[in-house]
Structure 1
């Protein structure tokens, strides 16, 4: 019987080995397995059904072309590999059940979570993946711990293999590892992988509570430990470490938003790194045992005091910790008791300080704008104290505002005039508004973000329009350059090595080349019009070359009228100068008249040679009578009327309008040259910085790569062309270290990755 190809029978997914092993499983466990597989299959389908929309939304909000292309490529890859991932995951689930009645001798467990400490210092992607995975698993264990433990206990009764919650085939650890293994063939960036993991948590792991409930019920019905009673799952109130309970609880009471599980996990991981790396961080003064931590509200008041008194031209290396310490000393003297910043708030201060150290040291930001961004440190610190999602949520308004300012500033050069530049003025306006108006309401960041995005959107539309015009103009120039090369080739092929009248060589180079250029641009080299222009050039050259045969004389008589007509029509269509056209045709007419005279003279000489004998007889007879025969001769050629002849020995080079001389040949580099590989790694939209001389730098964006001519076109942030380079020319710039690629990734994200890497380095030191 033929089955529908769209129906996937779960039992068919098990290999022969799995079938034989599964046959030894108790019937109750097979029932649990099949019910779980059906639920996991439906959850996976929901995951992939929603993945497209999620990735499309992310692409729509992307801040660069490269980021947007990465999301679109991930969508395509996920569609192609979806079925394989679904089948592979369910296959692995079946295999994990099949192995429950088998011991694996000498082999360590394969489903243990990856150790946080075992990651190398440079594996930031793996760190992010591990943190996300641990966070997902921790939430399931917190929510469904009792039900999972009861299921594990019941499974241990019916199988021979010793299980715990980690090795339980339906546990969050096993399922997450199996899903990651099934997705190993996806060629996606870590940002996309984290999105897929989040979807796995939302559509698969979130349904485990029901799965465990059903599985326990089926085993109880089969008589497996019915005395175990599952209590309603309790949600954890605090994930803080034991030594931080007091301050975490007070922070939670001050801000209920901190109860979000994701925030706890991310900020908790950062606190863990900070606590283990504290020896390498700037430490606060040693406080006495009876020191009293100030409340978060008091800290906010101190920060607002510092914010209002911050100088307009604040130095970039300002030490906020020192300023805050000074204010705390004054408060301690006033109250008579030592006051210190609480440990949680101190962690926030350290994190924000490290983030801004990276930001202000980032070479992608122009120095003149770093001074403006440095003034945002206190407002950003205040919003981080108020709202810990600042560290975990990429869409946080304050975080996005900082990223948008940095992205907009990427193409801003230090040579731009600050006072007249609209971008500089807008950023300055945003900074001043935050310093003046932000006290404790983070909503101001959303308002400023909306306004700044509208401003940037207007600027981007204008620059994209000018950039498109630049690309169109360059593509037109490239087509003209290719046509010019075709005409050069045709001229050199017919003229090199020949000796021709100077006027004909000039006519072809100065006038007919323009006709051929227009023909090539309009119709192409495969057209009848192009072939006709070549034929006209060939006929003109033949018509002024020495010809001796009578057949050539007849052909010339037939050819000249049509040739002159074709030349005249072509030069008129190319709008060639009428005065120069008349001069050319006058000289060309003289050449053809001389050609006809040569034919007549040759004919006369032939006839006179044939009748020489009879003339001699006549002369002798007349001479004996005392008479003479008169001589009939053609007039001699006028030497001045004969055009000067020139030999074409040099390659004909046609210059573009405005081009003074031919371009010099560039050195040839090996195909595997490292500098050429660097050039080939450039992508349209990449920002670079050229070191023009010791003092001046030029920031520009690669707007187009004109493939026919091999030219790289660079524009400034307004979309205006500022530079043009060949592939070899760029390679030579890379060789002398005159080019630096600017990192257009989100500034805050790069800063956070750097801080995590540094903390892990300090932890391992």
Structure 2
């Protein structure tokens, strides 16, 4: 973070500004007073340089520069105190002077005279170290009264200008309407004056006294919107010849329109009646082929200072005027390149006229939007952005604080480098002492190590012999363990083979069992006298139920003694709980026995 803070200085920390100046002076090898003078000079010249002031005022403020800067450099409070007397002085002088330009008028000359006198009084007071507050107060009161008078004059001027601009707009609209349809078109000479004055006056009256919506709904305006387009196409002259069919088709309709227009209110009924009569007479003469003195109707002139309607200005240039607001000041260059400082006092889009006044509220010029757009685009006019004293002070102090912070950074960097050099020298000395002590320690360590190495060599020899004996013992133990593991694996394999064999034998025995086979069942039946007593039972396979896989055994008298599933039967044979004594006869043998018994019964 920088040490010097601009906002702190602007809020009243003048000491911080003094330190910033001192820091900058120390690094840039200059004096604090020189820096103060440079800062004050840049601020003053930025405030009074072109285009801030008119060229006529520059000599007055140039003469004021040296004594004013001498006053500013006496105290840094000028920059940190918004109510500093010198700041109030500049805030009184500069804005008022920035709006003045040389003009051949009494108010302009009066302002110049009073400003010149005030500046001389200021210089005199500063030289004698006295206060010019009274002179400043009188000048401020005079400015306030002049501003009130200018505001009142400007308000009245705007009211008058609105009426004038509205009249000009009405004249422009009617003139363009008539010219668009009749200019340079053949018309009877007796109609020229009636149209140029009577019709134009009547239409201007309604345009001036009606809003756009009212005008669009006005019957009289609608009639002439229909009459004027064909009117210039109905009279022959020179190379322009009108066909009879066109006369017969259009003139009756125009006569009806003229007759209907008489039914509506007009501003001058007598003059309007005369216009309609003359026009109707000329139209009837044209359709009846009666001779008339015809000549091209001359284009009506536009009001003074107005552009031709055909003048085209690109939209991008017209948009430049949209940023201009009432109260904005512009700098306009005249034909002799003299700067005219004027304020936009009236901007009415409906009238397409911009009114500019000077600082006294008097009219400077009135231009259309197109005129102003062209002036802005060509550089003849440019917005006048006046700098405020606070803005200039902030800008210049910001640059100074940035320089001061850089200088302070350079100082800190130099101090850091110096400290680092001292530290490096100290560390080098410490390193040399450490290295000497290390060499002595290493020599002592080498002697001790030699003794240890001799002892360790003997110990290593004994340990090597002990390791060889231990390795031999581990090798023998490993061989014994490997042999035992091999024997255990062989035993497990034999047991597995034996178990598999018993299982295969038991399965084969179960598969070969026939009804009538005898088995010996070795069952353990716990009793009160002997919980582990066992008994052996002989049983005959009486039934094999194929659907459920059950084997039912009975004793010699036919009582059921046991029942096994196939899996239980095989497991019992494997475990030795069941022992096959004799297998039963197969089906053929049993059938043979039955046949033999039957034969015996027959015999």
TM-score between both structures, scaled by the size of structure 2: 0.52
What residue is the counterpart of 1:716 in the other structure? 358
Q: Tell whether 2:314 aligns with 1:669.
A: yes
Equivalent residues of 1:702, 1:712 under 8 A apart: yes
SS class of match (2:340): strand
Q: Tell whether 2:123 aligns with 1:410.
A: no
Equivalent residues of 2:6, 2:401 under 8 A apart: no
Q: How does 1:175-574 map to 2 (within 5 A)?
A: 262-263=11-12, 265=13, 267-278=14-25, 283=30, 349=37, 351-377=39-65, 380=68, 384=72, 388-414=76-102, 421-438=109-126, 444-484=131-171, 486-488=173-175, 491=178, 501-504=188-191, 506-527=193-214, 531-534=218-221, 537=224, 570-571=267-268
Relative distance call for 1:531 and 1:362 in structure 2 (3 A) is closer
> Which deviations, in whole Å up to 9, do the C-alpha atoms of 1:41-81 show, x marking residues without a partner?
xxxxxxxxxxxxxxxxxxxxxxxxxxxxxxxxxxxxxxxxx
What residue is the counterpart of 1:643 in the other structure? 292
Deviation, 1:511, is: 1.3
Relative distance call for 1:274 and 1:665 in structure 2 (3 A) is farther
What residue is the counterpart of 1:749 in the other structure? 390
Number of residues paired by the alignment? 392
Equivalent residues of 1:692, 1:698 under 8 A apart: yes
Deviation, 1:428, is: 1.8
SS class of match (2:136): helix
What residue is the counterpart of 1:338 in the other structure? none
Deviation, 1:403, is: 1.8
Distance in 1 of aligned mates of 2:225 and 2:384: 54
Deviation, 1:399, is: 1.2
SS class of match (2:383): strand
Equivalent residues of 1:715, 1:723 under 8 A apart: yes
Relative distance call for 1:510 and 1:403 in structure 2 (3 A) is same
> Which deviations, in whole Å up to 9, do the C-alpha atoms of 1:213-266 show, x marking residues without a partner?
xxxxxxxxxxxxxxxxxxxxxxxxxxxxxxxxxxxxxxxxxxxxxxxxx53x1x
Distance in 2 of aligned mates of 1:512 and 1:370: 56
What residue is the counterpart of 1:131 in the other structure? 6
Equivalent residues of 2:150, 2:360 under 8 A apart: yes
Distance in 2 of aligned mates of 1:704 and 1:583: 40
Distance in 2 of aligned mates of 1:450 and 1:592: 77
> Which deviations, in whole Å up to 9, do the C-alpha atoms of 1:567-610 show, x marking residues without a partner?
9x63369xx7xxxx898688558548869x96xxxxxxxxxxxx
Equivalent residues of 1:418, 1:424 under 8 A apart: no
Deviation, 1:707, is: 1.5
Distance in 1 of aligned mates of 2:216 and 2:151: 37
Distance in 2 of aligned mates of 1:418 and 1:729: 29
Deviation, 1:691, is: 3.1
What residue is the counterpart of 1:74 in the other structure? none
The structure carrying a bigger strand percent of its residues is: 2
**Structure 1: runs of 5 or more not aligned:** 1-114, 118-126, 136-193, 195-261, 285-342, 599-636
Equivalent residues of 1:702, 1:714 under 8 A apart: yes
Deviation, 1:407, is: 1.0
SS class of match (1:523): coil
Deviation, 1:456, is: 0.9
SS class of match (1:570): coil
> Which deviations, in whole Å up to 9, do the C-alpha atoms of 1:58-117 show, x marking residues without a partner?
xxxxxxxxxxxxxxxxxxxxxxxxxxxxxxxxxxxxxxxxxxxxxxxxxxxxxxxxx337
Relative distance call for 1:270 and 1:712 in structure 2 (3 A) is farther
* Cα RMSD (Å): 4.9
Distance in 2 of aligned mates of 1:415 and 1:720: 11
SS class of match (1:717): coil
Equivalent residues of 2:358, 2:364 under 8 A apart: yes
Deviation, 1:520, is: 2.0
Relative distance call for 1:713 and 1:440 in structure 2 (3 A) is same
SS class of match (1:513): helix
* Larger CA Rg, structure 1 vs 2: 2
Distance in 1 of aligned mates of 2:19 and 2:401: 10
